[in-house]
Amino acid sequence: MSELHPSLARDTMVLGQTPLSRVRWMNDRRFPWLMLIPKHADAVEWHHLPTAEQHQLLDEMAVLARALECAASPDKINVGALGNRVPQLHLHVIGRHEHDPCWPGPVWGQGEVEPYNPGEEPPWLHALCAALPNDFLEPDHD
Amino acid sequence: MSELHPSLARDTMVLGQTPLSRVRWMNDRRFPWLMLIPKHADAVEWHHLPTAEQHQLLDEMAVLARALECAASPDKINVGALGNRVPQLHLHVIGRHEHDPCWPGPVWGQGEVEPYNPGEEPPWLHALCAALPNDFLEPDHD
C-alpha cells in the first residue's frame, strides 16, 4: 500500500478501505464529503489506472454516492478528480445542498474549512455506514 | 436524443458525438476544456445511469484525457461532474497548466471566461482530433 499523502492524512479521517481504495471523510462540517484514494503506488490520473481499476473506482464512487444520498439527502452530488495541489490520485464524492456556503460554486479551495471537534463525527456518518453494502468496507488501521 | 441545456449550447462548441454522448469543447481560451454530455434523457447524476453507461462515460473520459495529454501537454487533468448550475449530466475533462489563471484552484465559476473569436478554434483542437481513435467521434449536426 502506498503512503497516504500528508495533506490527505491531515484533512481527512478514516472510514475504512476496499480492496482498491482507502475510504475517508473530509474533516469539514460544511459538507458531507467522502474521498476514495486508490492504494496503488504512484497513481496520479484516474485514466492512468488499469482499465479494470478505473471501473472499480467508478463503482466505488457510485456506492458512496448512493449511500450519501440516503444519509445526507443532498440536492446534488459533486464528483471530482482534480489533484492540482495533492498529486496522489483521490476522488471526491461530495453531497451538496442549495443552502451550503459554496452553492452553486465548487467547494475546493473555497472559504474556510470548519473542522469537527476532536472525537466528534459527522452527523450523517452513522446513516452512511448503515446505507453501505455490508461487505463494502473493511477496517483500515493504517 | 435529449435537448441540450441552453447554458451548455451557449458556452460550448460541437466537436462530435459518440453513441452515448455529445462531445463539446468549452469556448474559453484559458483552458483546454472538453465536455461529455450523455444524450440520455433526464440523466442528472453519473451514478444514476445504467452501470454499463457509467462505465462507457468513464471510458470516453479516458479517451479524451489521453488525447488532451497529447494535444495540450497539461500538467494535470481535472475530471468533474458537478451540475450545480446546469442539471443536465455533463462530465468535464480539463487540461490544467501550472501557469493557467486558476491554478491550483478549480476552474468552475472562477474569473472571467475568455471566449474565442467567431470562427476561431482552439490551437490544440486539430492535434486533439488527430490523437483520438479514428472511430471515436461521429459528426453531430444537432
Q: How large is the ipTM?
A: 0.96
Alpha-carbon gap, residue B17 to B140, rounded angstroms: 6
Residue A73: pLDDT band with limits 50, 70, 90: very high
- Reported as type and span, the H/E element at residue A29 is none
Query: Nearest Cβ partner of A79 from B46, B59, B77?
Result: B46
Compute chain B's Rg from CA coordinates: 14
| Beta strand extents in chain B (DSSP E only) | 12-17, 21-26, 33-38, 76-81, 91-96
Which B residues, 18 through 47, put their C-beta within 8 Å of a C-beta on chain A?
Answer: 44-47
Q: Is the dihedral of CA B67, B71, B73, B79 positive or negative?
A: negative
Which residues is B13 bridged to in the sheet? B25
Right CATH for A6-131 from 3.30.30.10, 3.40.250.10, 3.20.20.70, 3.30.428.10 = 3.30.428.10
**In 3D, which of A82, A68, A76, A83 has the Cα closest to residue A33?**
A68
The answer to whether the beta carbons of residues A75 and A96 sit under 8 Å apart is yes
The answer to whether the beta carbons of residues A101 and A111 sit under 8 Å apart is yes
Burial A12-43 (b: 16+ CB within 10 A, else e): beebebbebbbbbbbbbebbbbbbbbbbbeeb
Residues B75-116: tens digit of each pLDDT = 999 999 999 999 999 999 999 999 999 999 999 999 999 999
Query: Nearest Cβ partner of A103 from B62, B66, B84?
Result: B84
Residues A1-22: tens digit of each pLDDT = 789 999 999 999 999 999 999 9
Residues of chain B with pLDDT under 50: none
pLDDT at A40: 84
A52: its cell numbers: 479494470
Alpha-carbon gap, residue B26 to B113, rounded angstroms: 10
Average pLDDT in the A63-90 region?
A: 98
CB distance from B70 to chain A under 8 Å? no
Mean pLDDT of the residues in chain B:
96
CB distance from A106 to chain B under 8 Å? yes
Residue A131: pLDDT band with limits 50, 70, 90: very high
